[in-house]
Chain A
Amino acid sequence: MEPKNQQKNIVVIGGGPAGIEASRTLDSLGYTVFLIEKEDRLGGHLARWDRLFPYGTPAGDVLGQMTASMGRVKWFTGTEVTQLNRLERGYNIILSNGMSVLADALLLTTGFSLFDASRKEEYGYGIYDRVITNADLEDWFSGIPVPAIDSPRRIGFVHCVGSRDEKVGNRYCSKVCCATAVKQACEIKEKFPDAVVYCFYMDLRMFGRGYEDMYLEAQKKYGIIFVRGRVSEVSEDKDGHLFVKAEDTLAGKPLRVTLDLLVLMAGMTRNTAVAPIVRALELSTMEDGFLKPKDSMTQAQSSYAAGIFYAGACTGPKTIPDTVAEAKAAAMSINEYLRDND
């Protein structure tokens, strides 16, 4: 650890897993780190989640491990960036708590927003009582009451809600929903062993270590029924039961099923709260609104602007391990940058 590193200020915007992990690493390299989080607690979306695929690790444990040793990191929750100015060297950042920081480097770990499922009117989120999202279900798993979940006997999961859908401007795959859906399907089956659980998917993307095992277990142990077909519309009967239309594309026949609960797997979309920062710093974004790194292969953590770095889902959908790895990589990229520019 070089003592002079301590004179270097680094501002990390976004206190999710990427921000926390990068701050810790930069701190261990001796830099002075300011971590800014607009919500009242650190953790981002991870703080709202109950368990993580593929092994069902409690999200709280993961977050707890990360935040257990924050070192000398100066972190501010409930704080937003109000002004950003590019200086000759570095950046001047003014925060909503009145603080002003002269930063030598800036790391954006602004993450993603969960897709607003009510934008897919045909699924009836916000219109039908028994249609919920993956996030609502996680709330329920964590013990927060969700009135829609009332001993359901027939449960459906709709994959790709707001992902792979040009009609909402999101052509990309959100990467984590398939595995989340399978995880949640197994969990809810554990809670309601008599329920029939369906997963409506277009393609099952079980790409990660342990995912295929989870999928197999969902079929063999939990008896989850997988239907290859995208749900096209949902209607409701007088008692609030949901009537779901899909095509069973493997059977080549239209499929109709009545359900007591429908869970929409809302995908990841760009975080709109980052727009003022993007404008102020004239950062490049991709067609879908995510931030554009300098080079997706070898400089995935660098932006086109000197001294600005990215980590995590701000550049596109990522899993937790991806995010943590990127956070470490970003810390190393910043370290190299500050050393070379000394």
Chain B
Amino acid sequence: MQDRFISGYHDFVLPFMIGMIFILSYLAIGIIRVIIQLPAKDRKKFFLSLINPRLWIINLRDIICDVLLHTKIWKRKPLLGYMHSSIAFGWFMLIVLGHIETWMFVPDRLSTFYYPVFFRFFVMETDHTIGGSFFFFLMDFFLLIVLSGVFLAMFKRIRSMVFGMRRTTRNQLPDRLAMYCLWAIFPVRLLAESFTAGIAGGSFLTRPMYWLFSNFLSDTYHILPTWWAYSTLLGTFFVLLPFTRYMHIPTEAFLIVLRNAGIKVSHPRNGYTTAQIYSCSNCGMCIDACPMMSQKKNLRYATVYFNRLLRRRNWAKCEISADKCLMCGKCVAVCPVNVDSCNIKQSLRAMRAVPAASDYSYFNTYSAPEPSPEKVLYYAGCMTQLTPVIYKSVGTVLDKAGIEYTFMDRDGGICCGRPLILAGRNEQAQEMIRKNTELIRQSGATTLLLSCPICYKVFRENYDLKGIRIVHYTEYFDELMRLGRINIKNSGEKIVYHDPCELGRGCKVYKEPRRVLGAAGELVEAEKHHDESICCGGSLGSLTLSYEDRKDITLHSLDNLMYASPERIVTACPLCLKTFSPYSPKKVSDFAEVVAQNMN
């Protein structure tokens, strides 16, 4: 194996080189901008992460799993996973193997970008070695893998349903152009390498192609134009890249590094968010996932389109989309690149919120609750006042378990603050957080028991209550059951548990309620459950969704819950309970109600 040209250069590499230099500069500038835009403390975190060897290992693992192998898509939809990993991993291996070949056979050419990419053009085969054939085999093998992925991708455009996707993203012009480039790159590469297989050698794919073509084509006339085409396609693809969905290929690795450094969304467009939205592959998984999509008119509010609007800084439309969102978090749960769109939307709301005069001086009319002997304080929250069955059942269970508790807001109380945070009014929410903290501290409680997941999330995330255990009643009753303080008998009733968004995806509480309900009856699962559970439609997260629109979501969610024909639907959120009850074909009960009914 040796150089075919003394110069080791040919003009056809120019389009590729232009594209390559463009995209590398674009990425470099982009990365620097993102780092500059990060808040100082996040920037520090980022730089510290770069000198942390443990994080290097984690980063490497995540990049291999997520960027190259796409394990997350594999788990969800294997065929789609294969499509992604065959192209990503296959292409990556072609690049790596190209470099290894160059390094092995013509090491002094390694310094150029193009040589390893167009290796088969620049070399000629002088003798057959086992090592050489092995590499040729590998190159053909991975090219075949990539080609299989590309054909699947073409097929997916026509029949997305085969891949388990009801809806796929609408592509824009740059996306389409880049997509056609991507489809063409590898078949053209196969042709180019086949034409040169007589000179540079080849393996099971390129050699038979060479023989086939040489029978009726004079390959010498076709070699150069095909390599030009290959280089031009690559160059075009790279130049188009920043304006297309395929930007996620280089961005995602950077996002992984930032995320593993512990950086969180702090601005709706700049810094970390830029890395997030450019990592959005526009795959459209969030379209099928979104509960609002039960109505066709809401398609445009899907997270993927929100990300697009954000890339273009179309603030007015972004705001409409963000205000509509239920903040149920399902798009985040299914997102293959984990775009944290709920937090992006929330910070957008915070940025766009109109400053409103507020006057909470009346808070000083509330007095601290009396402490109970066991120092358990129960905060029911605003919504639970409208679902008396919840606080009454909680009381029954605690009484039977012999736990003396204080009901902090029996006669009403101060809101937990989460509804204001969801509306982007963080400063006003702080006043509620401050006053509630003061009242809870004064009560001397050591355990704060909550039944509303909305409250639970904010108490866990935004309150500073060190020394006080914050616990949701699903966790608390599970603990009481396991400690033997409550005994639950099995009624044999077929029940399905609905994961409330704020409790499941919001606080990752899944197993405790199921353990308790499994003891109370025959627990079945909905069609979609755990982190794929469908929002009831009542979420306070949406600011603009009308009552009529919510109804469709509720019906869709109920359909999902009725999948295994349960006799009863059980939830652990006052809002879900109130939202489901009017439309449910079966009785909807609260978690505490079921526990109270089945206690010995």
Direct contact of A and B (CB under 8 A): yes
Among B392, B547, B582, B583, chain A packs the most CB atoms within 10 A around the CB of B582
Does the CB pair B386–A121 fall under 8 Å? yes
Chain B residues positioned under 8 Å from A168 (CB to CB): 582
A233 to B389, CA, bound (A): 12
When A121-B387, A127-B392, A235-B385 are in contact, do A166 and B547 touch as well, CB less than 8 Å?
Answer: yes
Minimum distance in angstroms from A122 CB to a CB of chain B: 4
Q: Does A234 contact B (CB under 8 A)?
A: yes
A169 to B385, CA, bound (A): 22
Q: Does A124 contact B (CB under 8 A)?
A: yes
A233 to B409, CA, bound (A): 15
Neighbour of B388 across the interface among A122, A166, A167, CB < 8 A: A122
Q: Which residues B251-301 have CB closer than 8 A to chain A?
A: none
Q: Does A217 contact B (CB under 8 A)?
A: no
26 examples of A-B residue contacts, CB within 8 angstroms? A119-B581, A119-B582, A121-B386, A121-B387, A121-B388, A121-B389, A121-B578, A121-B581, A122-B386, A122-B387, A124-B388, A124-B389, A127-B388, A127-B389, A127-B392, A167-B547, A167-B582, A169-B582, A233-B385, A233-B386, A233-B388, A234-B388, A235-B388, A235-B410, A236-B388, A236-B392
Residue of B nearest to A122 (CB): B386
Q: Does B577 contact A (CB under 8 A)?
A: yes
Question: Interface 1/0s, chain B 554-586, versus A by CB < 8 A?
Answer: 000000000000000000000001100111000
Q: Does A128 contact B (CB under 8 A)?
A: yes
When A166-B547, A169-B582 are in contact, do A121 and B577 touch as well, CB less than 8 Å?
Answer: yes
Chain B residues positioned under 8 Å from A235 (CB to CB): 385, 388, 410
Does the CB pair A128–B582 fall under 8 Å? no
Chain A residues positioned under 8 Å from B582 (CB to CB): 119, 167-169
Q: Which residues B398-421 have CB closer than 8 A to chain A?
A: 410
Q: Which residues B348-407 have CB closer than 8 A to chain A?
A: 385-389, 392
A295 to B388, CA, bound (A): 44
A128 to B395, CA, bound (A): 14
Question: Interface 1/0s, chain A 115-130, versus B by CB < 8 A?
Answer: 0000101101001100
Residue of B nearest to A235 (CB): B388
Chain B residues positioned under 8 Å from A124 (CB to CB): 388-389
Q: Which residues A92-121 have CB closer than 8 A to chain B?
A: 119, 121
Chain A residues positioned under 8 Å from B578 (CB to CB): 121
With an 8 Å Cβ cutoff, the count of chain B residues facing the other chain is 13
Residue of A nearest to B386 (CB): A122
A146 to B350, CA, bound (A): 54
Chain B residues positioned under 8 Å from A233 (CB to CB): 385-386, 388
Chain A residues positioned under 8 Å from B583 (CB to CB): 169
Minimum distance in angstroms from A85 CB to a CB of chain B: 28
Minimum distance in angstroms from B310 CB to a CB of chain A: 35
Residue of A nearest to B547 (CB): A166
Chain A residues positioned under 8 Å from B392 (CB to CB): 127, 236
Chain B residues positioned under 8 Å from A121 (CB to CB): 386-389, 577-578, 581
Minimum distance in angstroms from A335 CB to a CB of chain B: 41
19 extra interchain contacts, Cβ-Cβ under 8 A, other than A121-B581, A167-B582?
A: A119-B581, A119-B582, A121-B386, A121-B387, A121-B388, A121-B389, A121-B577, A122-B387, A122-B388, A124-B389, A127-B388, A166-B547, A168-B582, A169-B582, A169-B583, A235-B388, A235-B410, A236-B388, A236-B392
Among B385, B388, B392, B581, chain A packs the most CB atoms within 10 A around the CB of B388
Minimum distance in angstroms from A298 CB to a CB of chain B: 32
Chain A residues positioned under 8 Å from B410 (CB to CB): 235
A122 to B577, CA, bound (A): 12
Residue of B nearest to A237 (CB): B410
Residue of B nearest to A166 (CB): B547
Chain A residues positioned under 8 Å from B386 (CB to CB): 121-122, 233
Minimum distance in angstroms from B576 CB to a CB of chain A: 12
A166 to B386, CA, bound (A): 17
Minimum distance in angstroms from B407 CB to a CB of chain A: 11
Minimum distance in angstroms from A244 CB to a CB of chain B: 12
A166 to B578, CA, bound (A): 13
A40 to B410, CA, bound (A): 46
Chain B residues positioned under 8 Å from A127 (CB to CB): 388-389, 392
A121 to B590, CA, bound (A): 12
Residue of A nearest to B583 (CB): A169
Question: Interface 1/0s, chain B 582-600, versus A by CB < 8 A?
Answer: 1100000000000000000
Chain B residues positioned under 8 Å from A128 (CB to CB): 388
Minimum distance in angstroms from A155 CB to a CB of chain B: 20
Q: Which residues A45-89 have CB closer than 8 A to chain B?
A: none
Chain B residues positioned under 8 Å from A122 (CB to CB): 386-388
A167 to B547, CA, bound (A): 9
Question: Interface 1/0s, chain B 530-555, versus A by CB < 8 A?
Answer: 00000000000000000100000000
Chain B residues positioned under 8 Å from A236 (CB to CB): 388, 392
A119 to B579, CA, bound (A): 11
Minimum distance in angstroms from A315 CB to a CB of chain B: 23
Residue of B nearest to A167 (CB): B582
Minimum distance in angstroms from B380 CB to a CB of chain A: 10
Chain B residues positioned under 8 Å from A234 (CB to CB): 388
A208 to B385, CA, bound (A): 38
Minimum distance in angstroms from A150 CB to a CB of chain B: 20
Residue of A nearest to B551 (CB): A169
A169 to B582, CA, bound (A): 8
Question: Interface 1/0s, chain A 126-148, versus B by CB < 8 A?
Answer: 01100000000000000000000
Chain B residues positioned under 8 Å from A119 (CB to CB): 581-582
A13 to B447, CA, bound (A): 60
A167 to B410, CA, bound (A): 25
A124 to B547, CA, bound (A): 23
Minimum distance in angstroms from A339 CB to a CB of chain B: 45
Chain A residues positioned under 8 Å from B581 (CB to CB): 119, 121
Residue of B nearest to A168 (CB): B582
